[in-house]
Structure 1
Amino acid sequence: MKIKPPHQAQEWSYFSHRESIGKASSSLGIRSNKNTHINCGSSARMAGNMCANVDQIRRQGRWNNTTINGAYLTNLPRELVGSMAGFPTYGRFFYLTRAALHPPTSLCKKLFLAIGG
């Protein structure tokens, strides 16, 4: 599939934008009714994962509080969920001590049959 961009001196119409994103999505097996806004939610969540606060994300996307909370961010309290998963509540730390544990080989063999046994 080839997406034809418009000439550089020409403004891209809403219809052309929507159609090209729809074609690209459907060729990958992605079904969405938000073709022109498909990246808004993921970019807002990625910014949140990088510790941007909701006000910063809202201003960057020029969204009001209803839009950002209802459409682009989850309603889960990120700090609480992170702390329950074992992440510190301060700064940008993503290292979990338990991730350094090495399970016994006998357990790995039971879980992953492809491991020699």
Structure 2
Amino acid sequence: MKIKPPRQAQEWSYFSHRESIGKALSSPGIRSNKKTHINCCSSARMAGNVCANVDHIRRQGRWNNTTINGAYLTNLPRELVRSMAEFPTYGRFFYIARAVLNPPTSLCKKLFLAIGD
């Protein structure tokens, strides 16, 4: 049995890159004008979701302030939004204390008419 050496990596053309991402997005029905930069946007937002510092996100992507705020992150103040949703403004915690409450059965029956059947 002969083992073939791995193919040498070749640089992708911009067109090939854009076309392959377009096909991957259109397959499940996703429409987007951002094909080659779609991962930039999602990775910046994912970093923001875990409370990464905006300056660190900007430096990692080598973006200027206009680009990071205008194209890749929302202009909403993350700490304010997190606190309004009753999440801590620091760390990766997404625990809501009210989620452990068990509503009374009488309320459940009003909301879900088929309960108890």
Aligned partner of 2:9 in structure 1 is: 9
Alignment of structure 1 residues 20-35 onto 2, 5 Å: 20-35=20-35
- 5+ residue gaps, structure 2: 1-6
The 8 Å contact of residues 87 and 95 in structure 2, kept in 1 or not, is answered as yes
How many aligned residue pairs are there?
Answer: 111
The 8 Å contact of residues 48 and 54 in structure 2, kept in 1 or not, is answered as yes
The letter of the residue matching 1:84 is: M
The 8 Å contact of residues 44 and 72 in structure 2, kept in 1 or not, is answered as yes
The letter of the residue matching 2:67 is: T
Q: Does 1:56 align with 2:49?
A: no
TM-score, structure 2 length as denominator? 0.83
Residue 113 of structure 1: how far off its partner (Å): 5.3
CA distance in 1, matches of 2:11, 2:59: 25
Alignment of structure 1 residues 1-117 onto 2, 5 Å: 8-112=8-112, 115-117=115-117
The letter of the residue matching 2:26 is: S
SS of 1:35's equivalent in the other structure is coil
CA distance in 1, matches of 2:83, 2:30: 33
CA 1:109 to 1:20, structure 2 compared with 1: closer, same or farther past 3 Å? farther
CA distance in 1, matches of 2:22, 2:113: 40
Q: Which has the larger radius of gyration?
A: 2
Residue 96 of structure 1: how far off its partner (Å): 1.5
The letter of the residue matching 1:74 is: T
CA distance in 2, matches of 1:26, 1:91: 35
TM-score, structure 1 length as denominator? 0.83
